[in-house]
Structure 1
Amino acid sequence: MNAKDIRLPAAQMTAFAAALLQAAGARPADAIAVAEHLTASSLAGHDSNGIDLLPAWLDQTDKKFVKLDSAERVLAETAIILRVDADGGWGPPAATKLIERAGAKAIEHGLAAATLGDVHDLGRIGAYGEQAAAAGLAAILFVNVTGQPPIVAPFHGSDARFGTDPICIAFTATPQRSAFVLDMATSRISLGRLKMAAARGQDIPSGSLINEHGMPTTDPSGMSGDPRKGALTPMGRHKGYGLALACELLGGVLSGGGTIQPEQPREGAVRNGLFAILINPALFGEAGWMEHEIEAMADYALGSPPMDWDSPVLYPGDPERALRGKRLRDGIPVDPELVAELNETAAARGLKLRLQPGT
């Protein structure tokens, strides 16, 4: 967050984004779903997957990289399997619908596996983990990224070969503990965080980036330009690299959307492949015992004395919940230059709506 950021109410941001997306040609229901997803991501503190994405998604729409009249097709369906082709349409409404449909199968049968291919940017993957957990389900989600040049180097590599390929694991809430939601990129930092650092003239953490010569650097300017120069590094060294490759195999191959290998087109679109496993814990054991075990394990982990008392041990999902409450109360911080850009875009598209702080 920047001291000069403008704070915007969530409801205003959603209404503005939905109107702008409709002006760009999105169907009303799609525009609302996408706008709500972006606002929710910003509320959770994932700004690079929030309203900051709106200009890029509008640009992708103008370039015909989002199919506005998409018609999803079910490629295969059994009692516990669902494979869907999104026909190049918006990510958030397609993924939300997939989790809902596959979740119904998991509730009935205990397990379900689902894939989503040929879909535009899914945005914040944690949103779908939260959706599953709210329905009483555990979830494991693997996502790959295609349509663009790679931006993450493999471990021991000196150039980019992967996207930021995120993974989300979620588990249901208990009476005393909110839902577990682990949402992470397989790169050490996200591209969005890098771009925000570059825009503000800030360095990024050491070990997060290599330059075009394969050497470590903390200067994000090369990777924020066009063309990008350098590569992000995988989180956890060989572990992040292995997980990124798993995302390509599970998210890319099983969804039918393909992997980031160079035979696939790289026209500049953002396309994702999603592989989801949904689990109904109620069919795996006695609810009371499970809830006690979850709460006891969480208490045990969080009870570790922190190395720094200003940074206690946290439960995955708690930082987002805390920030969501604060930003609902105080407003979502947005860079003034982004607000100006979005207001100019609205004027150019004939809209009277403008983003204004505190209204």
Structure 2
Amino acid sequence: MPRLYAPDRLTATLDAILRASGSSPEEAATVARNLVEADAKGHASHGVCQIAVYMTSLERGHLTANRHARILRDDAPFLVVDGGFGYGQVIAKEATELAIERARRGGACILALRHAHHIGRVGAYGEQCVAAGLVTVWFVNVVSRPLAAPQGGARPRLGTNPICVAVPGTPGHPPMVLDFATSAIAANKCRVAASKGVEVADGLLIDPDGLPTRDPAVMFREPTGAILPFGGHKGYGLALACEILAGALVAGLPALPENLRPGRVVNNALAFVLDPARVAETGWEALADAALDYMEGTPPAPGTDRVRIPGDPEREHAARAARDGIALDPDTEAALHRYGTAFGLDVPGLLGVEGAA
């Protein structure tokens, strides 16, 4: 059985590593909390495992600590923000705060976020908006080594380019937060599976010859395999939309070969944030409740217990993590000890190994 770690212990460990690597206390706290929250909500691919990516990016000069969102254009409803290749969790959080302020004031904000290092789980910014009572839609591109093949292609050409749609809670339901990669599986889920020595499901990956495979290790050998788009041409179309809207339009940085750097991960985003009261007919919440009730009232298919609304799995995962703790894959555990020890930290003490579940 894998060891389970208390979320607060993991947060403290990451916080200490980030501070030791040069982050301010505020930045370290923001990044650490975001990473652990991703694990807690069932998205380990965007969680604690990312610390190894971030430390490598720092070492290679692709990530700069203590950068903040810098406004390039503020002309309602448009807001253009540059991240200076700083920690994406800080940049995106600050940019979202700015967009929320403008949407509250003017009813809507079109946020163009460029040149942020990895922003992590995009749903975090959807949750930030719905906590303010606002609707949001995000298109994000990923400038890193290509991972996903276009529909009909045998080689990777795209990032996992996520999309997020978030709607505030209604009297009968919590917020709906839809957050998904346009690839059939997240790249780091392949890494986690490869670390554990387990196969992935059919229909997710192809090998370097374009043939179907269940071996996640094909993503980490040269030449690599590729992740397929989810839903065939539909997922491919959405991934390409992210590339054009967030990469080409917003940042002038689509994931073309000339823009790639070994060990660098950059996120750009085009986001829409709006006040539902400015566009909705009276009683939209009741209608939304009726639609959600109708979905949840669907008889479950064999092998399932019920129909869930986007955001439900994350809430369920978070409740279990708070109760039982969070499991890490072996590579991530090793990375925490490796980097922590290099900075002179007592990693077992920070993790509370003796008291772990």
| Partner in structure 2 of residue 51 of structure 1 | 48
> Residue 176 of structure 1 aligns to which amino acid in structure 2?
G
> Residue 324 of structure 1 aligns to which amino acid in structure 2?
A
Asked if structure 1 preserves the Cα contact closer than 8 Å seen for 2:69 and 2:95, the reply is: no
The TM-score with structure 1 as length reference comes to 0.94
Are residue 189 (structure 1) and residue 185 (structure 2) matched?
Answer: yes
Change (3 A) 1:213 1:353: closer
Q: Following the alignment from structure 2 to structure 1, what is the Cα–Cα distance between the partners of residues 260 and 160?
A: 18
| Partner in structure 1 of residue 94 of structure 2 | 97
What is the CA distance between 1:311 and its match in structure 2?
4.0
| Partner in structure 2 of residue 109 of structure 1 | 106
What is the CA distance between 1:310 and its match in structure 2?
2.9
Q: Following the alignment from structure 2 to structure 1, what is the Cα–Cα distance between the partners of residues 68 and 306?
A: 47
Change (3 A) 1:228 1:349: farther
Q: Return the match for 1:35 from 27, 32, 55.
A: 32
| Partner in structure 2 of residue 269 of structure 1 | 264
Q: Following the alignment from structure 1 to structure 2, what is the Cα–Cα distance between the partners of residues 71 and 171?
A: 27
| Partner in structure 1 of residue 239 of structure 2 | 244
Aligned ranges 1:65-214 → 2 under 5 Å? 65-70=62-67, 72-146=69-143, 148-214=144-210
Q: Return the match for 1:25 from 3, 22, 30.
A: 22
SS at match of 2:142: strand
Asked if structure 1 preserves the Cα contact closer than 8 Å seen for 2:196 and 2:330, the reply is: no
Q: CA RMSD in A?
A: 1.6
Q: Return the match for 1:346 from 320, 325, 340.
A: 340
Q: Following the alignment from structure 2 to structure 1, what is the Cα–Cα distance between the partners of residues 48 and 193?
A: 16
Q: Following the alignment from structure 1 to structure 2, what is the Cα–Cα distance between the partners of residues 342 and 256?
A: 33
* C-alpha distance after superposition, 1:45-71 (max 9, x if no partner): 111111121122122212221112535
Change (3 A) 1:331 1:52: same
Are residue 280 (structure 1) and residue 275 (structure 2) matched?
Answer: yes
Q: Following the alignment from structure 2 to structure 1, what is the Cα–Cα distance between the partners of residues 212 and 153?
A: 12
Ranges in structure 1 where 5+ consecutive residues have no aligned partner: none
Asked if structure 1 preserves the Cα contact closer than 8 Å seen for 2:68 and 2:91, the reply is: no
Q: Following the alignment from structure 1 to structure 2, what is the Cα–Cα distance between the partners of residues 6 and 335?
A: 10
> Residue 166 of structure 1 aligns to which amino acid in structure 2?
P
Q: Following the alignment from structure 1 to structure 2, what is the Cα–Cα distance between the partners of residues 274 and 266?
A: 19
| Partner in structure 2 of residue 253 of structure 1 | 248
Change (3 A) 1:162 1:35: same
What is the CA distance between 1:257 and its match in structure 2?
4.5
Are residue 8 (structure 1) and residue 2 (structure 2) matched?
Answer: no
Give identity over the alignment, percent: 38
Q: Following the alignment from structure 1 to structure 2, what is the Cα–Cα distance between the partners of residues 309 and 16?
A: 39
* C-alpha distance after superposition, 1:284-318 (max 9, x if no partner): 2355x111111100011111111125342110000
Change (3 A) 1:331 1:282: same
* C-alpha distance after superposition, 1:245-267 (max 9, x if no partner): 10011111232251012232333
The TM-score with structure 2 as length reference comes to 0.95
> Residue 269 of structure 1 aligns to which amino acid in structure 2?
R
Ranges in structure 2 where 5+ consecutive residues have no aligned partner: none
Q: Following the alignment from structure 2 to structure 1, what is the Cα–Cα distance between the partners of residues 242 and 134?
A: 21
Q: Following the alignment from structure 2 to structure 1, what is the Cα–Cα distance between the partners of residues 223 and 310?
A: 32
Are residue 330 (structure 1) and residue 324 (structure 2) matched?
Answer: yes
Change (3 A) 1:27 1:257: farther
Asked if structure 1 preserves the Cα contact closer than 8 Å seen for 2:196 and 2:329, the reply is: no
| Partner in structure 2 of residue 314 of structure 1 | 308
Q: Return the match for 2:286 from 285, 288, 292.
A: 292
Q: Following the alignment from structure 2 to structure 1, what is the Cα–Cα distance between the partners of residues 181 and 68?
A: 29
Asked if structure 2 preserves the Cα contact closer than 8 Å seen for 1:6 and 1:335, the reply is: no
Q: Following the alignment from structure 1 to structure 2, what is the Cα–Cα distance between the partners of residues 228 and 39?
A: 32
What is the CA distance between 1:77 and its match in structure 2?
0.7
Asked if structure 1 preserves the Cα contact closer than 8 Å seen for 2:148 and 2:158, the reply is: yes
Asked if structure 2 preserves the Cα contact closer than 8 Å seen for 1:144 and 1:274, the reply is: yes
Q: Following the alignment from structure 2 to structure 1, what is the Cα–Cα distance between the partners of residues 48 and 208?
A: 30
Q: Following the alignment from structure 2 to structure 1, what is the Cα–Cα distance between the partners of residues 226 and 246?
A: 22
What is the CA distance between 1:324 and its match in structure 2?
0.5
Q: How many residues align?
A: 353
SS at match of 1:255: helix
What is the CA distance between 1:206 and its match in structure 2?
1.1
